[in-house]
Amino acid sequence: MPEKSYDHKEIELKWYQRWKNADLYKPEENSAKPKYYVLEMLPYPSGALHIGHVRNYSIGDALARYKWMRGFNVLHPMGWDAFGLPAENAAIANRRHPYEWTMSNIRNMKRQHQRMAFSYDWSREIATCEPEYYRWNQWFFLKMLERGLAYRKKALVNWCPECATVLANEQVVDGCCWRHESTPVEMRALDQWFLKITAYADELLEDIAQLEGGWPERVLLMQKNWIGRSEGTEVDFPVEGSGHKIRVFTTRVDTIFGATCVILAPEHPLVAQLIGPELEAPVKAMIDARARKDPGDLEKEGLFTGKYAINPYNGERVPVWIANFILMGYGTGAIMAVPAHDERDFEFCRQYGLEVRPVIRPVGGELADPQTMTAAFTEYGVVERSGQWSGMPSELARQQMTEFAEKNGFGKSAVTYRLKDWGISRQRYWGTPIPVIHCGKCGIVATPEDQLPVILPPHVEITGRGRSPLENVPEFVNVKCPQCGGAARRETDTMDTFVDSSWYFYRYCDPHNDRAPFDPDKVAYWFEIDQYIGGVEHAILHLIYSRFWTKMMRDLGLVKNDEPAKRLFTQGMVIRDGAKMSKSKGNVVSADEMIERFGADTGRLFELFAAPPEKDMDWTDAGANGAHAFLGRVYRFVTRNVDRMSGGDGAGPTDADRKALRKLHQTLKKITEDFETRWHFNTSIAALMELMNELTSIEKDLTPASIPEVLEKLVLMLEPFAPYVVEEMWEQMGRTGPVFRQPWPEYDPELAKEDAAEIPVQVNGKLRARILIAFGSAEADVLRLALSDSKVQPYIDGKQVIKTIYVPDRLVNIVVK
RNA sequence: GCCCGGGUGGCGAAACAGGCAGACGCAACGGACUUAAAAUCCGUUGACCCGCAAGGGUCGUGCGGGUUCGACCCCCGCCCCGGGCACCA
């Protein structure tokens, strides 16, 4: 048969059409097979924006396909269409997605809300435009409200002027909005809804141990740092001549005899009561300066209140200051400054000429001289000049001094976290409405469950300014109070879209349930997720929220697992021209263009081939072209050899056949091992290329003794990397697909074995010759051969052989003197 | 400043257990086919040196040491790049 040219458009369209209505990816109900749940982190099935997104699928989809072929019952919501044809995206999306959203729906909303385009995010958009999904977000919200896990309070929150909305702490990067990298976030005091993620702070931290080994170390580390648990002591310093007490938090109560002042954050509630009118303006200026969050290092700045506080341990009178480096959001918003033993306090006190008083000496050393000290001594040591605790090691003093405070009622041991409650209020149109009603008489009233979902009104004008756009929609806002029936106002804040992504993967297990978010039994079968795949940028966003959500659902009795995903794989970014691909840099390669030019198969293949998946990869059009050429070579090889699969003269296998089968089984071994261990698909694909190079070089000597097996296994091995073209070749070979439902081929170790090896001979570690030996030769035979080799001779002639090393079938090294 | 990664040809990379450094691909160059181009196919390609040639030699995995018969790999000390955290008391 003459070879066929590789027309990716024709092939991909054909197979897409052929199977678009078949439910190929549905896992089997009540299957006895081992289950496997693999999921990519961006939960939209198609229409990838750029090839950076495609990479995510290429990896997860290759793995899912391999697992299918290996006989697992796989839940993989992306499936075949993860990377579909551009013209057909809408149809694919419509069919595949469990929430049955429609692409046109999204497009319309997008057009209608051009002004909101900046907050556009595919993964969450899917969920947020879907009323059924609102319903369960709202349902969860009400459950949390009942349990005190959702609450409303006035708080200083991050405000992005560009988005015109509040942001969670996790969504502020370098003082700027995570979507607008050059827009500094402002601080505003607003009434906001929070979810009490801090109730799970300890558990989120402790359960990191369960994830070790399965999650990348750096993600766990980032989460640990983010949670930022620290154990310490709270101590009250009464303010002289007033009834007020300043409560400070310290992890080093053992240094308290060295405290030479107390410092408040400028936002601290006591400040207003302590300062005179002459300080009001400077304090306000300090707050404003910090709210602007200059990205550069803020110079330490302090204001003396004129008041003094009493150190309860020694009765000493210390001045009370206000300073810009004290954070209201951490600890109690007030500290005791111990300049001798804390870097920041040292810098501050030297700047303002406050006393530096060392009270900790190194073990075996002496107290530093405060006159000549140039840096604080921050380590543990031995406590001195500290009354009854003098001479005690720091650790012990910390413990006993804390107990002393508790006994005398002026302090206690305390744990603080860097982690804050999750602010979920957004002044956006886009998102799940928060299902509560504000009543003048009854206060905050939950929307009754049978009135869910609260749906967004259509035709809302997006002003991009001030408060939620929903406030301008009277028919949405004006409601009757469900309790007293009086006039009331509906909450106009919507939920952070990270709420949606916190549990979407549970819904995949039971997407059409209209009585509950999902059936716990169905979820119990699939969870935990065996393998989750996504970018590292979600380490302290989505990945911490979804852990919290899982624990919350477990406490509601909905799930049994403590953690959402056993294993997490973070793939590298796609780089182009040395820069991370992003909309703001304008260097994106659109997936649609790429599919048009090279095809979906080429896109996957090149993304997997260019670098190991955990590493960043460089996108080059030329490289993609190379991958495309390879698929063409395979396709032409198969099509011109299909009619040589049978017939022939019945003679036994030729040398070429034996060679081809050996290489075939070696390749299969290699790829199988790559899938089972480290997912270095770049070397798998390189092995396939080597196989093709070998096959084409001996092609004319191949006979039906090897061709059927070679073609079959070649196609099966390529399946995870190029699923469309593989279906076409399978059909050309007279077989019926889908190919990924075929079993993964087993390799034969005997066939894969080489019978002879060319091994290097070294003299004193330097390569001098290569000799040909039979595999498994006896050491003595190999050494005899090596020592008598004509190229080795000159180097050992007249010298004494001290030692010989033989690594079986690998190398000979002769040591001479 | 602290904590993670990483540094190998012109480029992306490979070397999985301390055992032939540079597999596989891109780019480049030479050739075949073609009116031409594209596509395709064949060949060369780490650097330097010797040789007309066949061939041979030296160097080479960021830098400097060490361990070892043997080091991209292990140890010690640096340099550089990327990422995360950073007044967290």
The mean per-residue pLDDT over the stretch A348-377 comes to 90
With a pLDDT cut of 70, the percent of chain A lying above it is 87
| Model confidence at A633: pLDDT above 50 | yes
A107, two tokens: 């497009």
Is there contact between A610 and strand B, defined as CB under 7 Å from any strand atom? yes
Is there contact between A640 and strand B, defined as CB under 7 Å from any strand atom? no
The mean per-residue pLDDT over the stretch A33-55 comes to 69
Is there contact between A238 and strand B, defined as CB under 7 Å from any strand atom? no
- Which tens digit of pLDDT belongs to each residue from A50-72? 677 778 888 888 999 999 999 99
| Model confidence at A620: pLDDT above 50 | yes
The pLDDT of residue A121: 32
CA separation for the pair A82, A58 (Å, rounded): 8
CA/C1' separation A362–B1 (Å): 22
Q: Quote the distance between the C-alpha of residue A600 and its chain's center.
A: 25
CA separation for the pair A115, A128 (Å, rounded): 17
Going through A279-389 in order, the beta strands assigned E by DSSP cover 302-310, 317-323, 334-337, 360-361, 382-383
Q: Who wins on pLDDT, A788 or A388?
A: A388
| A330: nearest nucleotide, CA–C1' criterion | B88
- Which tens digit of pLDDT belongs to each residue from A400-413? 999 999 999 999 99
| Model confidence at A791: pLDDT above 90 | no
CA separation for the pair A250, A416 (Å, rounded): 10
The mean per-residue pLDDT over the stretch A487-495 comes to 91
Q: Who wins on pLDDT, A46 or A292?
A: A292
CA/C1' separation A796–B66 (Å): 28
| Model confidence at A582: pLDDT above 90 | no
| Model confidence at A112: pLDDT above 60 | no
How many CB atoms sit inside 10 A of residue A581's CB? 21
Is there contact between A225 and strand B, defined as CB under 7 Å from any strand atom? yes
Is there contact between A805 and strand B, defined as CB under 7 Å from any strand atom? yes
The pLDDT of residue A86: 41
Identify the residues numbered 525 to 584 in chain A whose C-beta atom is closer than 7 Å to any atom of strand B. Answer: 536, 540
| Model confidence at A333: pLDDT above 80 | yes
Is there contact between A416 and strand B, defined as CB under 7 Å from any strand atom? yes
* pLDDT band at residue A115 using 50, 70 and 90 as cut-offs: very low
Q: Who wins on pLDDT, A105 or A229?
A: A229
With a pLDDT cut of 90, the percent of chain A lying above it is 46
The mean per-residue pLDDT over the stretch A473-480 comes to 88
* pLDDT band at residue A459 using 50, 70 and 90 as cut-offs: low
DSSP per-residue string spanning A400-432: HHHHHHHHTTSEEEEEE-S---EE-EE--SSSP
Q: Who wins on pLDDT, A420 or A21?
A: A420
Tokens 């939950």 belong to which residue?
A: A446
Is there contact between A811 and strand B, defined as CB under 7 Å from any strand atom? yes
| Model confidence at A120: pLDDT above 50 | no
CA separation for the pair A247, A335 (Å, rounded): 8
Is there contact between A590 and strand B, defined as CB under 7 Å from any strand atom? no
The mean per-residue pLDDT over the stretch A769-791 comes to 87
The pLDDT of residue A88: 40
Report the range out of A287-291, A557-561, A578-582 with the highest average pLDDT.
A557-561
DSSP A433: B
Identify the residues numbered 252 to 291 in chain A whose C-beta atom is closer than 7 Å to any atom of strand B. Answer: 252, 265
Q: Who wins on pLDDT, A634 or A542?
A: A634
Beta-strand relationship, A811-816 and A756-763 = parallel
The residues that bridge with A412 in the sheet, in sequence order, are A234
C-alpha distance from residue A642 to each of A637, A638, A732 (Å): 9, 6, 7
Going through A218-301 in order, the beta strands assigned E by DSSP cover 230-238, 245-250, 261-264
Tokens 């595919």 belong to which residue?
A: A122
Q: Is the pTM of this model over 0.80?
A: yes
Tokens 């048009």 belong to which residue?
A: A596
CA/C1' separation A529–B71 (Å): 41
| A175: nearest nucleotide, CA–C1' criterion | B86
Is there contact between A677 and strand B, defined as CB under 7 Å from any strand atom? yes
Task: Work out the end-to-end distance of chain A between its first and last CA atoms, rounded to an integer number of angstroms.
Answer: 64
The mean per-residue pLDDT over the stretch A376-400 comes to 92
Read off φ and ψ for residue A50, nearest 5 degrees: -150, 175
CA/C1' separation A790–B76 (Å): 42
Going A9 to A48 to A507 to A530, the CA torsion angle's sign is positive
The pLDDT of residue A593: 76
CA/C1' separation A809–B18 (Å): 16
The pLDDT of residue A276: 87
Q: Residues 6 or more apart from A503 whose CB is under 8 A from it?
A: A140, A517, A546, A549, A550, A553
HEC string for A154-202: EEEEEEECCCCEEECHHHEECCEECCCCCCECEEEEEEEEEECHHHHHH
| A692: nearest nucleotide, CA–C1' criterion | B24
The mean per-residue pLDDT over the stretch A349-375 comes to 90
Read off φ and ψ for residue A13, nearest 5 degrees: -65, -45
The pLDDT of residue A95: 33
| Model confidence at A297: pLDDT above 80 | no
Q: Who wins on pLDDT, A635 or A50?
A: A635
The mean per-residue pLDDT over the stretch A540-546 comes to 88
The pLDDT of residue A294: 53
CA/C1' separation A627–B77 (Å): 44
| A216: nearest nucleotide, CA–C1' criterion | B4
CA/C1' separation A593–B43 (Å): 35
CA/C1' separation A324–B13 (Å): 50
Q: Is A558 helix (H, G, I), strand (E, B) or coil?
A: coil
* pLDDT band at residue A48 using 50, 70 and 90 as cut-offs: very low
Identify the residues numbered 185 to 224 in chain A whose C-beta atom is closer than 7 Å to any atom of strand B. Answer: 217-218, 221-222
| Model confidence at A111: pLDDT above 50 | no
- Which tens digit of pLDDT belongs to each residue from A640-687? 999 888 877 777 788 899 999 999 999 999 999 999 988 999 999 999
Report the range out of A181-185, A322-326, A501-505 with the highest average pLDDT.
A322-326
Identify the residues numbered 454 to 483 in chain A whose C-beta atom is closer than 7 Å to any atom of strand B. Answer: none
The pLDDT of residue A502: 86
CA separation for the pair A436, A447 (Å, rounded): 5
Q: Who wins on pLDDT, A27 or A481?
A: A481
Is there contact between A793 and strand B, defined as CB under 7 Å from any strand atom? no
Identify the residues numbered 687 to 726 in chain A whose C-beta atom is closer than 7 Å to any atom of strand B. Answer: 689-690, 693, 696-697
Closest protein residue to B85 (Cα–C1'): A225
Closest protein residue to B4 (Cα–C1'): A218
The pLDDT of residue A131: 63
HEC string for A616-682: CEECCHHHHHHHHHHHHHHHHHHHHHHHHCCCCCCCCCCHHHHHHHHHHHHHHHHHHHHHHCCCCHH
CA separation for the pair A13, A663 (Å, rounded): 33
- Strands of the sheet with A531-535, listed across from one edge: A73-75, A35-40, A531-535, A568-571
The pLDDT of residue A585: 57
Averaged pLDDT score across all residues of chain A:
84
Encode burial over A250-269: b for 16+ CB neighbours within 10 A, e otherwise. bebbbbbbbbbbbbbbbbbe
* pLDDT band at residue A566 using 50, 70 and 90 as cut-offs: very high
Is there contact between A768 and strand B, defined as CB under 7 Å from any strand atom? yes
Is there contact between A815 and strand B, defined as CB under 7 Å from any strand atom? yes
* Contact of A38 with A66, CB cutoff 8 Å: no
| Model confidence at A520: pLDDT above 70 | yes
Is there contact between A813 and strand B, defined as CB under 7 Å from any strand atom? yes
Q: Which nucleotides of B are covered by protein (CB under 7 A)?
A: 3-5, 11-16, 19-21, 23-27, 39-42, 56-58, 69-71, 83-89
| A263: nearest nucleotide, CA–C1' criterion | B89
Is there contact between A239 and strand B, defined as CB under 7 Å from any strand atom? no
Is there contact between A615 and strand B, defined as CB under 7 Å from any strand atom? yes
Is there contact between A644 and strand B, defined as CB under 7 Å from any strand atom? no
